[in-house]
Amino acid sequence: VAHPAQDRATSDLDLFDLGSEHPEARLVTALAGDLGISDERAVGFVRAAAAAAARSRLLDAIKHLKEGNEVDALVALTYLASLAECLPAVEPGAAEPELIASSLSGASTLEERQKLFYILGQLSPGSAPLFAE
pLDDT digits over 40-98, tens only? 787 777 777 878 888 888 889 889 989 988 888 888 888 877 777 766 666 666 677 77
pLDDT digits over 23-42, tens only? 666 777 777 788 888 877 87
Neighbours of 106 (CB within 10 A): 6
- CA–CA gap between residue 77 and residue 71 (Å, rounded): 10
Q: How far is CA 91 from CA 16, 36, 75, 98, in A?
A: 10, 25, 22, 11
* pTM (predicted TM-score): 0.64
